[in-house]
């Protein structure tokens, strides 16, 4: 008996190979995505951990305050500590000026903490007092090699240094200037590792030393952080909040989220496809099942036989997906680490991932097959002989009753409307297929739309300047601003103060960037949380909305603002929270800040807007040529660089969109094919009554398109809500991903579903056209 059922199963699989192939394809994609994202997540974490251990990446970095006391306590507890000078100063490389960072290091040996990996050339040497190591991203952008020279602007003027080597640093795997400026183009920011003595010479007198601690557990990190804050340290950064590491962990955690969310969606679609296919198979084989039961086949035997369809599909799809996931995971890891120049790439194979993937695929397929198998086992010979009775009586459809004008439709359209309600089970399964298909497409497409729209919002609405200037003499003077305004192509120039600050309250602090602007600034739009725009007034602070949860403050609260650029800590009140896509910045009016500090010489930069139609490159070149200007930042170039830096995200989500489209087609193909094959007898009856093939095909097409159209609205709604959940999972103080979907995306997604429904039914319609009426009649008479 069992052998006979196996032969039957093989024949069924061969006869409906396209439909089962679609189920296997959906399972393959779901398992491959699970394996790829899981392996990439694990590999990236392993790569970072290995590099961090090899180069002793700091567990805690403290700037200013009792740095020597912190170092002493760390060493007493068995940890390692290094004290160094770190300062941001202008660089000049082949005529290009940028705001760079100098990091002091021992010239005779690698530091105890935050070592570097020399990729080419040599390490620093005591015999080469002006020899420097260039961080790899800066070296790549400016094509620097050992033996090249560049200039650094310090308190004593420009100093020429020689490149002795190119190095990778765990602090700058992602070249972030600060926690708020993680999307900085290499051409606007670079890092040099220089002998400690040279770093001290290049640092202004107000610069504070920095201590880096390695080998400190959570308890010691907490203890040292308390000592630092109570001692007035300007910045206390545990490893989790270090800018480069925080940005990379955002991506890694994103892989972790996608490793769960996307496979769930895809495997749910696969289970739905398997359920529809097997349910229709059981209904079409009622007579065969009744015959088997009448000939002594037990219910358990029949149940196991039909459950075997799901097990077979799950095993094939799961095994293929597991193999594909391993290869795809390794490829994603290599792509990612090479894109951001991680010098160590760890690829580890774990049997757990493919085995879990196969188990999930089999489980999804078995759950989908369980209900149809149970239905098959419960069919009695008597029920099978009675055939299938109509689900409803005749009469007007629901749409005709609710929408009276529909009663005037041509007879063919009314027949399609009434067929929708005649088999509610078939209609509901088709609607679910449409909804799932739209969810798969809209989640990926919505992520692409959101990223594009938010970048545009940040760089077109929030940040309205075209360029930013830093001056060689320190504070921006009235004469320097006038000179900048006089450059042809410059329409406006405003003074501003940009300061690294620590905002603290009740023992909790957050390091960010404070921007002080004129009260009537036209260079920045302040988008308030909850809607509307705000303005700078008095000494009130406007801050990113994430700060509320980070240090537990509300509007009206007084907070302490400390910076190495200020004479001492000041107290300012929070006047509102901002909804900005990138970062958690703080803003205050320039007059208000000067009043709070007691000086009117805080402006250290200028924001410029160009005249409409001005040649950007020409204006930027003229600004670079000004002797009083040390650095020119192309703000619009920053927007382009931010888009390019999101390239990997676009590629990954684009792959998800492609897979979603393929799975949508497979799901719709199965649903439509099952709809048509289930009604073979119906079609044969119409053919014997003289109805032409074209008419029958038209009826099927109208019905399928109507059901698809009914599923579009709930599909778009559910897809939008799930996309919002996906995007919200990436929110942090670095990024605020509020879902934005273009109306064109909704329209195109809806149109795509109609096209997919039309195309996916084509094989079934062809089958109807070639239907052997005599064979169908004989089969129904058995």
Q: What is the per-residue pLDDT across 441-471, written as a single tens digit (0 to 9) for each?
A: 888 788 888 888 888 888 888 988 988 888 7
* pLDDT exceeds 60 at position 387: no
Q: For 336-342, which contacts have Cβ atoms below 8 Å and span 24 or more sequence positions?
A: 336/40, 336/44, 336/251, 336/648, 337/44, 337/47, 339/647, 339/648, 340/173, 340/174, 340/248, 341/136, 341/137, 341/140, 341/168, 341/173, 342/47, 342/48, 342/51, 342/168, 342/173
Angle formed at CA 187 by CA 186 and CA 189, multiple of 5 degrees: 60
Lowest mean pLDDT among 314-318, 324-328, 666-670, 723-727: 666-670
Segment among 263-272, 495-504, 548-557 with least mean pLDDT: 263-272
**Residue 539 token pair:** 């000494």
- What is the pLDDT, as a whole number, of residue 566? 82
Looking at residue 291, its pLDDT comes to 76
pLDDT digits (tens, 9 = 90+) for 248-293: 887 777 667 766 777 777 777 777 777 777 777 777 677 777 777 7
Q: What does the pLDDT read at residue 122?
A: 95
Q: What are residue 497's DSSP bridge partners?
A: 516
pLDDT tens-digit readout, 625-678: 887 888 888 887 666 666 655 655 666 666 666 776 776 677 667 666 666 666
Q: CB-hemisphere CA count at 13 Å for 533?
A: 9
Nearest-angstrom CA–CA distance, 604 and 620: 19
**Would you state the pLDDT for residue 145?**
95
Which residue has 């097997």 as its token pair? 278
Task: Looking at 488-535, list the stretches that DSSP marks H as alpha helix, in order from N- to C-terminal side.
Answer: none
User: Which DSSP state fits 583?
Assistant: -
- Mean pLDDT of all residues in 754-759: 80
Q: What is the pLDDT of residue 611?
A: 92
Model confidence at 199, pLDDT cuts 50, 70, 90, reads very high
Q: 441 or 75: whose pLDDT is higher?
A: 75
| Residue indicated by tokens 């303005």 | 535
Per-residue 3-state assignment (H helix, E strand, C coil) for 276-304: HHHHHHHHHCHHHHHHHHHCCCCHHHHHH
Task: Please tell me which residue, 686 or 328, carries the higher pLDDT value.
Answer: 328
Task: Give the span between the Cα atoms of 753 and 227, in whole angstroms.
Answer: 61
CA–CA distances in Å: residue 116 to residues 54, 68, 419:
9, 23, 71
Residue-level pLDDT at 248: 83
pLDDT at res. 413: 66
Q: Are 441 and 664 in contact (CB under 8 A)?
A: yes
Q: What are phi and psi of 471, to 5 degrees?
A: -105, 145
pLDDT at 74: 95
Q: Which of 701, 706, 700 is nearest to 679 (CA)?
A: 700
pLDDT over 90 (residue 64): no
Instruction: Give the pLDDT band (50/70/90) at residue 609.
Output: very high
Q: Token pair of 148, please?
A: 């090249």
DSSP 408: G
Strand partners, 186: none
The count of C-alpha atoms lying within 13 angstroms of the C-alpha of 644, restricted to the half-sphere facing its C-beta, is: 11
Q: Lowest-pLDDT range, 84-98, 611-625, 687-701?
A: 687-701
User: Whole-number mean pLDDT of the chain?
Assistant: 82
pLDDT at 214 over 90: yes
Reply yes or no on whether the pLDDT at 771 is more than 70.
no
CA distance 400 to 414: 8
DSSP per residue, 203-254: S-TTPPEEEEEES--HHHHHHHHHHHHHTT-SEEEEGGGSHHHHHHHHHHHH
- Residue 494's SS3 state is strand
490: three-class secondary structure by DSSP: strand
User: What's the pLDDT at 241?
Assistant: 86
Given this model, what pLDDT does residue 177 score? 85
Q: Are 425 and 433 in contact (CB under 8 A)?
A: no
* Minimum mean pLDDT range among 196-205, 231-240, 590-599, 768-777: 768-777
* Residue 366 near residue 307 (C-beta atoms within 8 A): yes
Q: What pLDDT is attached to residue 381? A: 72
Question: If pLDDT is split at 50, 70 and 90, which confidence band does 574 have?
Answer: very high
List the one residue out of 232, 226, 248 whose CA is nearest residue 60: 226
C-alpha 145/C-alpha 519 separation (Å) is 46
User: What confidence category does residue 410 fall into, taking pLDDT thresholds of 50, 70 and 90?
Assistant: low
Q: How confident is the model at residue 600 (pLDDT cuts 50, 70, 90)?
A: confident
pLDDT in tens, 672-711: 666 666 666 666 666 666 667 777 777 777 777 787 888 8
Of residues 163 and 249, more confidence is placed in 163
Residues 234, 58: contact at Cβ < 8 Å? no
Model pLDDT for residues 96-155, shown as the tens digit of each residue: 888 899 999 999 999 999 999 999 999 999 999 999 999 999 999 899 999 999 999 888
Residue 599 above 60 pLDDT?
A: yes
Contacts of 781 (CB under 8 A, 6+ apart): none
Query: Is the per-residue pLDDT at 389 higher than 60?
Result: no
Say which residue, 681 or 61, is predicted with more confidence: 61
Task: Say what the pLDDT of residue 451 is.
Answer: 80
pLDDT for res 644: 58
> Stretch 718-744: mean pLDDT, rounded?
81
> What pLDDT is stored for residue 123 in this prediction?
96
């Amino acid at each position: 008996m069992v052998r006979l059922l196996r032969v039957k199963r093989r024949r069924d699989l061969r006869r409906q190979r396209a439909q089962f192939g679609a189920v296997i394809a959906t399972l393959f994609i779901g398992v491959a995505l699970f394996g790829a994202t899981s392996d990439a997540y694990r590999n990236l974490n392993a790569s970072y951990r290995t590099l961090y251990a090899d180069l002793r990446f700091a567990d805690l970095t403290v700037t200013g305050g009792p740095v020597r006391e912190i170092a002493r306590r760390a060493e007493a507890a068995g940890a390692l500590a290094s004290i160094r000078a770190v300062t941001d100063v202008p660089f000049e490389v082949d005529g290009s000026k940028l705001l760079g960072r100098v990091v002091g290091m021992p010239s005779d040996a690698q530091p105890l903490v935050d070592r570097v990996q020399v990729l080419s050339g040599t390490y620093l040497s005591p015999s080469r007092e002006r020899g420097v190591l260039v961080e790899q991203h800066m070296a790549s952008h400016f094509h620097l090699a050992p033996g090249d020279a560049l200039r650094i602007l310090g308190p004593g003027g420009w100093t020429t240094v020689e490149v002795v080597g190119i190095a990778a640093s765990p602090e700058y795997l992602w070249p972030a200037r600060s926690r708020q400026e993680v999307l900085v183009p290499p051409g606007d920011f670079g890092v040099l590792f220089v002998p400690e003595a040279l770093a001290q010479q290049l640092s202004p007198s107000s610069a504070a030393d920095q201590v880096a601690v390695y080998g400190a557990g959570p308890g010691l990190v907490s203890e040292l952080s308390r000592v630092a804050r109570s001692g007035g340290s300007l910045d206390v950064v545990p490893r989790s909040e270090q800018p480069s590491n925080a940005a990379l962990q955002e991506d890694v955690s994103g892989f972790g989220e996608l490793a769960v969310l996307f496979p769930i969606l895809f495997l749910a679609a696969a289970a739905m496809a398997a359920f529809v296919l097997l349910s229709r198979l059981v209904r079409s084989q009622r007579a065969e099942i009744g015959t088997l039961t009448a000939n002594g086949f037990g219910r358990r035997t029949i149940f196991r036989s039909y459950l075997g369809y799901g097990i077979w599909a799950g095993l094939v799809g799961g095994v293929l997906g597991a193999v594909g996931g391993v290869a795809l995971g390794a490829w994603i890891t290599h792509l990612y680490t090479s894109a951001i120049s991680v010098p160590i790439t760890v690829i580890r194979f774990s049997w757990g991932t493919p085995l879990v993937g196969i188990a999930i695929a089999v489980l999804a397929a078995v759950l989908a097959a369980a209900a149809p198998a149970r239905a098959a086992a419960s069919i009695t010979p008597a029920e099978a002989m009675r055939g299938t009775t109509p689900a409803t009586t005749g009469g007007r459809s629901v749409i005709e009753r609710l929408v009276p004008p529909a009663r005037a439709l041509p007879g063919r359209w009314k027949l399609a409307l009434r067929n929708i309600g005649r088999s509610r089970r078939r209609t509901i399964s088709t609607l679910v297929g449409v909804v799932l298909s739209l969810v798969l497409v809209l989640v990926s497409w919505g992520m692409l739309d959101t990223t594009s729209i938010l970048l545009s919002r940040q760089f077109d609405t929030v940040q309205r300047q075209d360029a930013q200037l830093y001056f060689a003499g320190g504070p921006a003077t009235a004469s320097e601003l006038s000179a900048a305004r006089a450059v042809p192509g410059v329409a406006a120039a405003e003074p501003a103060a940009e300061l690294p600050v620590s905002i603290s309250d009740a023992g909790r602090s957050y390091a960010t960037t404070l921007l002080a602007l004129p009260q009537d600034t036209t260079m920045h739009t302040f988008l308030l949380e909850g809607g509307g725009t705000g303005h700078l007034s008095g000494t009130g602070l406007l801050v990113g909305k994430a700060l509320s949860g980070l240090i537990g403050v509300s509007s009206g609260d007084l907070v302490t603002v400390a910076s190495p650029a200020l004479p001492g800590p000041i107290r300012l009140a929070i006047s509102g929270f901002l909804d900005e896509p990138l970062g958690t910045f703080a803003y205050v009016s320039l007059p208000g800040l000067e009043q709070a500090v007691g000086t009117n010489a805080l402006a250290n930069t200028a924001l410029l807007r160009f005249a409409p139609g001005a040649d950007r490159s020409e204006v930027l070149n003229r600004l670079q040529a000004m002797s009083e200007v040390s650095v020119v930042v192309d703000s619009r170039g920053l927007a382009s660089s931010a888009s390019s830096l999101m390239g990997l995200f676009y590629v990954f989500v684009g792959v998800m969109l492609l897979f979603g489209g393929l799975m949508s087609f497979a799901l719709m193909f199965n649903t439509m094919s099952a709809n048509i094959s289930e009604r073979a007898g119906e079609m044969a009856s119409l053919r014997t009554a003289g109805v032409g093939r074209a008419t029958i095909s038209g009826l099927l097409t109208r019905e399928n398109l109507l059901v698809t159209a009914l599923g579009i609205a709930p599909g778009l709604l559910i897809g939008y809500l799930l996309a919002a959940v996906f995007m919200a999972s990436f929110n942090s103080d670095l990024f605020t991903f509020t879902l934005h979907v273009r109306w064109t995306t909704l329209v195109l997604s809806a149109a795509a579903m109609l096209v997919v429904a039309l195309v996916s039914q084509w094989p079934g319609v062809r089958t109807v056209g070639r239907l052997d009426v005599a064979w169908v009649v004989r089969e129904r008479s058995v």
